Amino acid sequence: MKNLFFLFILFLGVNNLYATGEPSTYFQIYVPPNNDAVQRNVCLVVTAIYDDTEFNIIDDGADGDTDDSKTGVLKAGQSYVLYIKDNGINDDALYASGGILKWDGDYFIVKSNKLVYASQSTNSDWQHDWVPSVDKSSIGQKFIVYAPMITSSNRDINVFAYQNNTVIDFYKISTQAKTNTGFTDVNAENPVKVFSKTLNVGQDLVYSFPEGRDAMISGETYMLVANKPVTMQYGALFGNERDGGGYVPTSNGSSSGELMYFAVPYQSGGEQEIRIVS
C-alpha cells in the first residue's frame, strides 16, 4: 500500500509563480536518444489546446541535420508525434530505424500561434510525470494528455483533490490510436467517457480506487475535466513504475508553495526518493 503524503512547505519571496512544463507558444527542447539499442524509441509530442493552432517544429542544424523539422496546423486536442529515428536520419539508438545512424538526439525549437503542450517520451514503461492544466497552471479543471507507447503495462493516471466533492470525468477524445510519426486523429467535441469519480480533499485516485489503473491505451489521447481544481499525474504509477520524477505541483498552481498532495510511486523498495527545498 502506497503512502499518500500531505506536505506543507513555506516558500518566501515569490513574485511570479509558474507551473513546471506548462503549455506555451515557444519551447527549446533537447530530446536525447535511447542509451541502449533495444528499440525503446524516443518521440517528441506537440499537442494543441485550441483549434487552428499553427505549429513549427525546428530541428536545429548544429548537429548536421534538420530532417525532423515539421510545420502544420492542429485542432483542439490533436497532437503531432515525432520519432527522432525517422525522416532519413536515425538520431535515436542503433536498430531504431534503417536511417543513417547518428545516435545523438535532436535539439528542437517549437513555435506556435496558440498554446500547445510539448512533451517527450520513450516506448517503454517505468516513467511518470505531472500533467499541467490547459490554462498554464499545475492545478486546474481541464487536462489533455497523449498516451505514448508502452512495453507491457498500460499507463495509469492519478488525480489529487484539494476540495471535498470534487467530481472528475475522464474522456477519450481520439478516434483511433497513433503510435508512429504523424498527426493523431481526435474529436474533442464528441468525447467518450471512460469513467467518472468523486474525490474528497487530500484523496487520490489510483491508490484509493481502481479506475485510474491501466486507464490509457497507447496512442490514444485523453481529456480530464473536474468541477474543482485538481492536479494530475500520468505514466507508470501502479505497476512497472521505476524511473519517473518531477516537481510536485502545489495548491497555488506552481511548483513551489505551502500545500501539495502527492504520492511516491515505486516498483520495489529503495527506488523512491523525496527532496524538499525551502
> Which of 125, 83, 122, 129 lies closest to 106, judged by CA?
83
Three cell numbers, residue 154: 498500460
Where exactly does CATH 2.60.290.11 map onto the chain?
A: 22-123
Closest of 276, 215, 213, 267 to residue 248, by C-alpha: 276
What pLDDT is recorded for position 89?
A: 97
List, in sequence order, every beta strand (DSSP E) within 123-211. 128-131, 140-146, 156-161, 166-172, 174-176, 182-183, 185-186, 192-199
Q: What is the DSSP secondary structure assignment for residue 2, as one 8-state letter?
A: P
Distance, CA of 231 to CA of 250 (rounded, Å)? 8
pLDDT of amino acid 5: 41
C-alpha distances (whole Å) from 73 to each of 56, 76, 136, 269 are 9, 10, 21, 45
For the chain, what percent of residues have pLDDT higher than 90?
A: 70
Q: What is the pLDDT of residue 16?
A: 44
pLDDT value, residue 125: 81
Q: Please give the pLDDT value at position 2.
A: 43
What are the angstrom distances between the C-alpha of 76 and each of 116, 121, 151, 186, 261?
9, 21, 28, 8, 29
The pLDDT value recorded for residue 261 is: 86
Rounded to a whole number, what is the largest CA-CA distance in the chain? 55
**What CATH number was assigned to the domain covering residues 22-123?**
2.60.290.11
- Do residues 224 and 184 make contact, with C-beta atoms less than 8 angstroms apart? no
* pTM for this prediction: 0.89
Assign residue 208 a region: left if phi > 0, alpha if psi is -120 to 50, beta otherwise? alpha
Show pLDDT as tens, one digit a residue, over the chain (278 residues).
Answer: 444 443 333 333 333 444 457 999 999 999 999 999 999 999 999 999 999 999 999 999 999 999 999 999 999 999 999 999 999 999 999 999 999 999 999 999 999 999 999 999 999 887 888 999 999 999 999 999 999 998 888 999 999 999 999 999 999 999 999 999 999 999 999 999 999 999 999 999 999 999 999 999 999 999 999 999 999 999 888 877 777 777 888 888 888 888 888 888 777 665 566 667 76
Determine contact, residues 85/91, Cβ cutoff 8 Å: yes
